[in-house]
Amino acid sequence: MLHVDAVKRGLEGQKHFAPLRAFDVEETRDMMCALLLHDLGHEGSSARPEWGRREDGDGRHPFDAFGATAAHGGTWRCAFSVDSIGKAAYVLGSTIG
């Protein structure tokens, strides 16, 4: 996405809204590789169909799979939604960097 100038500037400006964090390309590549290996080799991976069923009968909500191995970059802890700070992040990324 960094080849699109507007997205690149918006991601640059996100660092001014703690705790948001835009991951670098190398960091994202390594993290996604580690998550793929985890999903393929770990018995308790949320990517497996049997993940939602527990032996004690207390199942998990289907949306729990999204949070099990999520790399949210701070969006779940931020006081603002990404949509609400988009224009400000773009301006800050364009001017301050």
Whole-angstrom CA distances from 45 to 40, 56, 59 are 8, 18, 15
Q: What is the pLDDT of residue 54?
A: 65
**What phi, psi does 27 have (nearest 5°)?**
-65, -45
Mean pLDDT, to the nearest integer, of 48-56? 72
pLDDT at 48 over 70: yes
pLDDT at 57 over 60: no
Contact in structure between 72 and 24 (CB atoms under 8 Å): no
pTM above 0.85, yes or no: no
Dig out the tokens for 95 from the structure.
């001017």
Dig out the tokens for 40 from the structure.
């393929």
